Amino acid sequence: MTSSLRVIEGGRTGELTPGFLVVGASEVVTLEGGVRRGPEQSQVGRLLADDPAGPEAPSVAGWEGRVVAVGPRAAVEAALEAEGLPLGRFARIDAAGGAVTPGLIDPHTHLLFAGSREDELVLRQGGASYLDILAAGGGILSTVAATRAASEGELLAHGRRWLDEMLGHGVTTIEAKSGYGLDLETELRLVDIAHRLGREGPVDVVPTWLGAHAVPPEFRTRPDGTEAYVRSLIDEQLPGIAAHGRARFADVFCETGVFTPDQSRRVLEAARGFGLEPRLHADELAPSGGAELAAELNAASADHLATPSKAGIRAMAEAAEAGNPVVATLLPITTWFLMKDHHAPARSFVDAGVPVAIGTDFNPGTSPAPNLALAISFACVNLGLSPDEALAAVTINAARALSLEDEIGSLEPGKVADLVIWRVPTTAQIPYFPGADLVRTVIKRGRVVLDRP
Ligand code: NIG
Ligand code: FE
């Protein structure tokens, strides 16, 4: 399936010119300078224009897929010429007075699944809890049944459809978890499809193995079901996933009633032994020791954290202070969709010096929402982040949550040329128009891949 929004064939700047120059921006927000934590979370590096058409207005130049210069247009043009890069080889892209940011990065999605679970919204309205529905064989398990039965073609089409939506909201890189197979064959298929979708582009996809998402039905009938499944994760699924060589991370749903911190530790340590970096679903529904474990393992990221313990926040603060920050990846759409009145303590994490990222958690149960720009609104309204803090959370800090901060997440020379031109003059308006289509142009690896003139 291909939508009208998908890649503009070859890209407008593709074969014709190896370079592009974005001009006419009201502001360029660079996020230059690495991961943000504490008071730096709000320092985004904003270059402003008095006159977007004037020579001092901020511009961004890219060459062969990388950013080569950011700064006042006249100075950038002079620098390019001086480096032997003639301006005639740069396609001019007019931002028409819009704001320019790095491409957004969604560091937590469950992109690939079959079926849908709108019935659970009604069950929750009637008072059922998320874990009650799972214990009764619904929830994740109903998606597992549908996903096991789905063909590769169906999963590919589904992935393309939702990647298109994400791109339409300015997203140029996502993480995509498996976790709806829960057996080696289906988990491998999900990781493999995630990888192939990224190769196909334009959105980059970072695959994560989430075999420890739930205990599958064939183990649930056994008295030692959870333990037996943990052993099979370590002895069978993990070696198969590692041999396939495409998953970069391993994730565990560490939560009371799902996997304990001890079981999570065993899976993640074994995964690290195979070269898969740990990340966790931590303290989503109740304080379950997830934040503490993430700090202990020096995970790339601890995600959800809607209900961390004080000790868990302290452990993550100490890890950050010691120079080994675990990113707190907060998922405010999920809390809202689960109808919770208690939100992740984002301010406590920022105050404690823990870098904060934001993701959609796109999945069929708790967050069927592919719009990362909307998650920025939720981060401001429900988590109390400022618009600038939230912008850092979906760019450089999200890159760090995927261990990609040296490649993406900011506009500075040498980085991959992924950027968004917005139809609003300031990024402060991104959270201000929740759910609106605010993207004018997306450039991925130096090519225009979406354009809404
Ligand atoms: O991040 N909590 C675990 N996993 C997902 C939900 C998955 C599902 O319900 O299908 C989450 O909320
Ligand atoms: Fe999740």
- Cα of 87 to ligand 2 centre, how many Å? 45
- Tens digit of each residue's pLDDT (9 = 90 or more) over 79-111: 999 999 999 999 999 999 999 999 999 999 999
Average pLDDT over residues 246-272: 97
The backbone region for 6, taken as left when phi is positive above 0, alpha when psi lies in -120 to 50, beta otherwise, is beta
DSSP code string of 423-440: SSSSTTHHHHSTT---EE
Q: Give the residue, by CA position, lying nearest to ligand 1 atom 1.
A: 361
Q: What is the pLDDT of residue 415?
A: 97
- Cα of 269 to ligand 1 centre, how many Å? 22
- Cα of 189 to ligand 1 centre, how many Å? 19
- Cα of 286 to ligand 2 centre, how many Å? 15
Average pLDDT over residues 436-443: 97
Position of tokens 């909201």?
169
CB 22 within 8 A of CB 100: yes
Whole-prediction pTM value? 0.96
Average pLDDT over residues 326-346: 97
Q: What is the pLDDT of residue 268?
A: 98
Whether the pLDDT of residue 14 is over 50: the answer is: no
pLDDT band of residue 306 (cuts 50, 70, 90) is: very high
- Give the integer Cα–Cα distance in Å for 210 and 453: 40
Determine how many CB atoms are found less than 10 A away from the CB of residue 169.
24
Alpha helices in 53-151 (DSSP H): 73-82, 118-125, 130-135, 140-149
Average pLDDT over residues 30-58: 97
- Cα of 4 to ligand 2 centre, how many Å? 29
Average pLDDT over residues 286-312: 98
Spatial neighbors of 343 by CB under 8 A, at least 6 apart, are 306, 332, 335, 382, 383
Q: Which atom of ligand 1 is nearest to the CA of 108?
A: 1
- Cα of 36 to ligand 2 centre, how many Å? 23
For ligand 1, mutation pick of 110, 288, 301 (most atoms within 8 Å of CB) = 110
Q: Give the residue, by CA position, lying nearest to ligand 1 atom 3.
A: 253
- Cα of 404 to ligand 2 centre, how many Å? 20
pLDDT band of residue 16 (cuts 50, 70, 90) is: low
Expressed in angstroms, the distance from the first to the final Cα of the chain is: 23
Spatial neighbors of 93 by CB under 8 A, at least 6 apart, are 12, 13, 20, 21, 22, 23, 421, 441, 443, 448
- Give the integer Cα–Cα distance in Å for 439 and 417: 17
Ligand number, closest to the Cα atom of 364: 1
Residues whose beta carbon lies within 6 Å of some atom of ligand 1: 110, 139-140, 143, 253, 281, 284, 334, 361, 363-366
Residue 261, Cα to own-chain centre: how many angstroms?
24
Whether the pLDDT of residue 9 is over 60: the answer is: no
Question: What is the pLDDT of the chain when averaged over all its residues?
Answer: 95
DSSP annotation of 83 = T
Q: Give the residue, by CA position, lying nearest to ligand 1 atom 8.
A: 365
Q: What is the pLDDT of residue 13?
A: 53
Whether the pLDDT of residue 214 is over 70: the answer is: yes
Average pLDDT over residues 235-247: 98
Average pLDDT over residues 423-437: 98
Max Cα separation, the chain? 72
Q: Which atom of ligand 1 is nearest to the CA of 210?
A: 4
Position of tokens 């993640």?
268
- Tens digit of each residue's pLDDT (9 = 90 or more) over 117-176: 999 999 999 999 999 998 888 899 999 999 999 999 999 999 999 999 999 999 999 999
- Tens digit of each residue's pLDDT (9 = 90 or more) over 181-190: 999 999 999 9
Spatial neighbors of 220 by CB under 8 A, at least 6 apart, are none
Structure tokens that stand for 57 in this block: 């207005």
Q: Which atom of ligand 1 is nearest to the CA of 303?
A: 1
DSSP annotation of 295 = H
Amino acid letter for position 101: T
DSSP code string of 97-124: T-EEEEPEEE--------S--HHHHHHH
Average pLDDT over residues 299-328: 98
